């Protein structure tokens, strides 16, 4: 009995450690994508990033702080749908991402000198980071928390939900941001959500999205 209890506890702590590593990795990957490839060209990596860029242009508020604040606001809108535990984890993701964005913006620079190459690289890394977080039942931020809640209720792919929510915010901010930036932002969202869909709807699983298994009610 003692052996079984010890084994169960060991598995629990091992899984908890792995989960925390994955959450941190996903946050750093998307922070790397935004800080190195996307934000230097003012390309919003998502709806909250678009709002953060607007805050920077209007109030000179640092993008990392604006990113954190807007994500927290969206998180509060959906916290009652997914629970406090998920909310706490998402706050950790938001904070780690904001800190990593600030770090990468200061200490790392893109090896490319072309906006399109930066767009592709940043979008791929962004999608990879989001996929890692979704596999651990966490989102890439507050607006992702809202998208995850909607996807859970309506049984739709979270990548598609994220895309359309972000697209609406991009259109609303088009008055302030140059239209070429909006086009780049939509392309970024399209590429990154393709990465998410590839991760969650592999052909080898007979077209059964993985997120159905993750969110299945017990």
Helix, strand or coil for residue 137?
coil
What distances in angstroms separate CA 146 from CA 81, 143, 172, one per listed residue?
9, 5, 18
Mention every residue, 6+ apart, whose C-beta is less than 8 A from residue 75. 87, 90, 91, 94, 141, 142, 145
pLDDT tens sequence across 52-103:
988 888 888 999 999 999 988 888 877 776 666 667 777 888 899 999 999 9
Q: Are 125 and 32 in contact (CB under 8 A)?
A: yes
Quote the longest CA-to-CA distance of the chain: 66
Name the residue among 61, 66, 90 with its Cα closest to residue 77: 90
Q: Give percent of the chain above pLDDT 90.
A: 27
**Global confidence as pTM:** 0.78
pLDDT at residue 35, as a whole number: 93
Backbone angles phi, psi at 185, to 5 degrees: -65, -40
Tokens 């939509």 correspond to: 186
Q: Are 136 and 19 in contact (CB under 8 A)?
A: yes
Helix, strand or coil for residue 7?
helix
Mean pLDDT of 184-189: 87
Q: Are 158 and 147 in contact (CB under 8 A)?
A: yes
What distances in angstroms separate CA 122 from CA 41, 50, 113, one per listed residue?
11, 15, 13
* pLDDT at residue 195 greater than cutoff 80: yes
């Amino acid at each position: 009995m003692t052996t079984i209890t010890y084994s169960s506890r060991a598995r629990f702590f091992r899984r908890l450690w792995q989960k925390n590593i994955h959450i941190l990795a996903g946050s750093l990957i998307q922070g790397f994508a935004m800080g190195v490839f996307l934000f230097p060209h003012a390309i919003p990596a998502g709806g909250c990033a678009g709002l953060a860029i607007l805050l920077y242009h209007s109030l000179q508020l640092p993008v990392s702080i604006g990113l954190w604040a807007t994500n927290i606001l969206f998180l509060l809108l959906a916290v009652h749908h997914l629970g406090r535990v998920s909310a706490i984890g998402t706050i950790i993701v938001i904070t780690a991402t904001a800190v990593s964005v600030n770090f990468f913006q200061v200490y790392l620079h893109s090896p490319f000198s072309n906006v399109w190459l930066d767009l592709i690289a940043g979008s791929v890394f962004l999608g990879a980071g989001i996929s890692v977080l979704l596999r651990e039942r966490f989102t890439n931020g507050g607006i992702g928390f809202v998208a995850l809640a909607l996807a859970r209720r309506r049984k739709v792919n979270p990548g598609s939900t994220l895309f359309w929510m972000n697209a609406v915010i991009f259109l609303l901010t088009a008055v302030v941001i140059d239209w070429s930036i909006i086009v780049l932002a939509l392309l970024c969202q399209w590429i990154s959500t393709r990465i998410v869909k590839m991760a969650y709807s592999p052909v080898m699983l007979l077209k059964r999205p993985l997120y159905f298994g993750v969110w299945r009610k017990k």
